[in-house]
Structures are given as C-alpha cells and as structure tokens.
Chains A and B, each alone.
Chain A
Amino acid sequence: MKIAFTTKGAEWTSKMDARFGRTEYFVVYDEETSELKTVDNKDVANEAHGAGPKAVQILSELKADVLITGNGPGEKAGMAMQHTGIECYVGAGDMTMKEAYDAFKTGSLQKF
C-alpha cells in the first residue's frame, strides 16, 4: 500500500503539515518496498486559487492509496478525492510523520 503524508520535510522525523492543498511536501511511503518518495508541492502552493483540487491530481498521479493529513481537503478537493478512491485520514497536523504513520496503523486517526 502507498501512503501519502502532507509534511514540512522529507524525513520520518519531519513535522506534518496540517494543510492539504498548500502543504509544503507530499511524502509517499511504499509499504512493499519501504521506499520514501518526496514531492515538493511549491507549484501548487503558489496557485492563487484552487490549490486543493490540484493537490488531489498530484496524489492521483503518485498512485497513493491513503492520505494522512491535518484538517483534510476543502469542499472541491474533497469531491475530487472521492472520485480518485484515495482514503483520507485526518487529525495528524501536530504530529511528526512517524507518529502519524503509527497513529494510522493503530487506527487512532479519524477517517475524513
């Protein structure tokens, strides 16, 4: 399973970014290969409007199965997300990426 995080850095110890569309980075963890892939989200964060739906497109291209984030997507991004089938878990905005992963694994994050 590929798990995506909204983060402020590329390491397991990096802080999560509570924002969805304008997150600093997306980090994708591939559970099968144990690989971490980091995507700088600068271009999307620089959009004046509609950062959320564009971020969904990036996640879709990364073929993420799950997204872990802080508050979750807004109205339009939420609709786009539904169509991609990516499951979204929220409430990890104040954690590190590792803490967020563990919280997801133990089922203590809320499904959006």
Chain B
Amino acid sequence: MKEIVVISGKGGTGKTSITASLAVLGGRDVVVADCDVDAADMHILLQPEIAKSEDFFSGELAVIDQDICTQCGKCFDVCRFDAIDVNDGIHIVNELSCEGCGYCARVCPVDAITNIPLNVGKWHISNTRLNQPFVHAKLGIGADNSGKLVAHVKNIAKEIAEEYERPYVLVDGSPGVGCPVVSSLSGAHFVVLVTEPTVSGLHDLKRVYELVNKFHIKAGCIINKSDLNLEKTNEIIEFLKQENIIHLANLPYNESFTKAMTDCKTIVEVDDNIIKETLEDIWKEIKQIIK
C-alpha cells in the first residue's frame, strides 16, 4: 500500500479539485482521506454517504465547578488567553478562547477548576459516490485542525486500505507548514505539490518543499493555471529543476474546472477537455513512479 499526499502550501491553487480528480481516476484502487480539515470541501465533489461517525477529542478545556468556586478571581488574573469571563461576578470559561493550558486549575485555591478533553468535532468513514472508502472529519465552530486529527484520519484510511487490499491511500493534505502538515506528510511515499504561477504560489511552494525535502519524500509538481503568468511559471519550472522535483504537468486555466464544480463533479468527469487527458497522464505517471 502506497500513500500519496497532495499539498500546496498556498490555498486556492486547485489542490482539492486535483485531489478529487485523482480520486475519481484511481477509482476502486484508492482510499481517500481528507486531511484539510480546517476547510474540508472534498465531500462536495465526492458526495459521500456516511457509514460511521465518532466524536473526536483533541486538546483540553477548563471547566469551573460553580458549586465550589469562591469567585476569587485568581484564574482571571493568570489567564494569558483572556479566556475567563466575568458575568455579574460569576467566573466562567470562554470555550472559544480557552487553550486548555491548565494554569487556572493550578492556581485555583479551592480546586474548582478541572480540565476536560475537548470535543472538537467528528470524524467519519464514508463511501463516496464512486463507492470508494473516504475518511474525513468535520470540526466544530472555532475548533482547529491538529496533527493528532490528521494522524488519526490517515491511520484509519491506511487500516481500511490494508483490510480491503487497496493499493493507494490518497490524502488531501493540510495547508501551511505547521503541525498538521508535518502530520500529513509523515509516512507518505509520494507528494504531489500543486502550485500556481503567482508570487505567493511560488513562495509557499518553496516553504512547504523544505519540509518535504527534509522528510526525503519523492515529490512531483503540478503548475495549475500555468498560462496566467508565463514568467512566473518559468520561474517555478527553474525551481523544480534546481531541487530535482518532477515536473508532472502544466494545467492551463480552464473554465471547465468551475463548470464541473458547479455540477458537483470533478473535471475528469467532464467530456472533451484537455485537462482530463493531462490528469490521466499524471495519475499514470505517479503510479509508475511509486511502483
């Protein structure tokens, strides 16, 4: 079983549209995992039917027992996140601001404060409309993605792939370069970098590639909307050469992407477009590389 992770560094490059297209091309060979949990949207294209859901706990939340609390205000004084609100002299925890650091519980003279595991949302095992296993998650309001959640989603996807003997796990990776991305990349056999010819597209590509390189993972790059700024596209191609990153393809700007999206489809399901052929070639090439 091989794990392919798609990341971009910058948002809006077309990462998820491309991941969903690869998922469609992979068909029954792939288990799909959406680790871009902060802004999960692959379900819009893959229209999964949820088969199993479970609560997910990550981090902690302070809770004040009002029967014990003497309203002394020590917790309010020490909280560095301004997460203790005072309403009519009653101290309560602002759940959106609390980071669960435990400082308040430590200074509370009457032990009225305890930390409880924080329920951040749910994770799901689903079947996509193409009848593929799909592991994804939905965060609650104000909750953030974590390395832990990403690791969990990936582990479940890998278990399913092993159980049902699917050769590939295809992961829609998290944005940025922080903990969730480290977690997305860890254990990957190949990374697809999706970028666009803009200043921030290249900048964020370089940043995230540092991490990929450090992890010694083979990488290939797709330059999406490549004809919008040929100068930048050439600059990206130069960078790919320098770093020995496989240049998988240029995808010219194509309105079929949006058209497909408004039909809740991927671009490879729209007939008569050149992008479809290119993506088919990319999928073949990736399979060849990681064989």
Contacts and interface: CB of A to CB of B under 8 A. Distances in A.
Interface of A: 17-22, 45-52, 70-72, 74-75, 78, 90-91, 93, 110
B148 A46 contact: yes
Given A18-B186, A22-B151, A22-B186, 4 more contacts: A21-B182, A48-B149, A70-B186, A70-B187
A51 B59 CA distance: 12
B147 A51 contact: yes
Q: With a 10 A CB-CB cut-off, give which of B149, B182, B188 has the most chain A CB atoms.
A: B182
Interface stretch (B39-47, B211-219, B237-245, B261-269): B211-219
A82 B187 CA distance: 22
B148 A75 contact: no
Contacts of B187: 17-19, 70-71, 93
A71 B151 CA distance: 14
A51 B214 contact: no
Contacts of B182: 21, 52, 74-75
Contacts of A93: 187
Contacts of A45: 148, 151
A48 B216 contact: no
Interface in B44-62: 58-59
B58 A71 contact: no
Contacts of B35: none
Given A52-B182, A71-B185, A71-B186, A19 B59 contact: no
Nearest to A46: B148
28 contacts: A17-B187, A18-B186, A19-B186, A22-B148, A22-B151, A22-B186, A45-B151, A46-B148, A47-B148, A48-B58, A48-B59, A48-B149, A49-B179, A50-B179, A51-B179, A70-B186, A70-B187, A71-B185, A71-B215, A71-B216, A72-B215, A74-B182, A74-B214, A75-B214, A90-B215, A90-B216, A93-B187, A110-B216
Contacts of B149: 48
A23 to B, nearest CB: 9
Contacts of A78: 214
Contacts of B148: 22, 45-49, 51
B128 interface: no
A46 B104 CA distance: 22
Contacts of A47: 147-148
A17 B58 CA distance: 22
B146 interface: yes
A47 B185 CA distance: 18
B284 to A, nearest CB: 23
Contacts of B16: none
A36 B145 CA distance: 36
Interface string B139-152: 00000001111010
B183 interface: yes
A76 B149 CA distance: 19
A71 B148 CA distance: 17
Contacts of B216: 71-72, 90-91, 110
Contacts of A52: 182
A58 to B, nearest CB: 16
Nearest to A78: B214
B258 to A, nearest CB: 35
B275 to A, nearest CB: 32
A35 B168 CA distance: 37
A73 to B, nearest CB: 9
**Listed residue (B59, B177, B188, B216) with the most chain A CB atoms within 10 angstroms of its CB:** B216
A75 B186 CA distance: 12
Interface core residue of A22, A48, A51, A75 (most chain B CB under 10 Å)? A48
A74 B187 CA distance: 12
- The 3 A-B pairs at the shortest CB distance, nearest first, are namely A18-B187, A74-B182, A71-B215
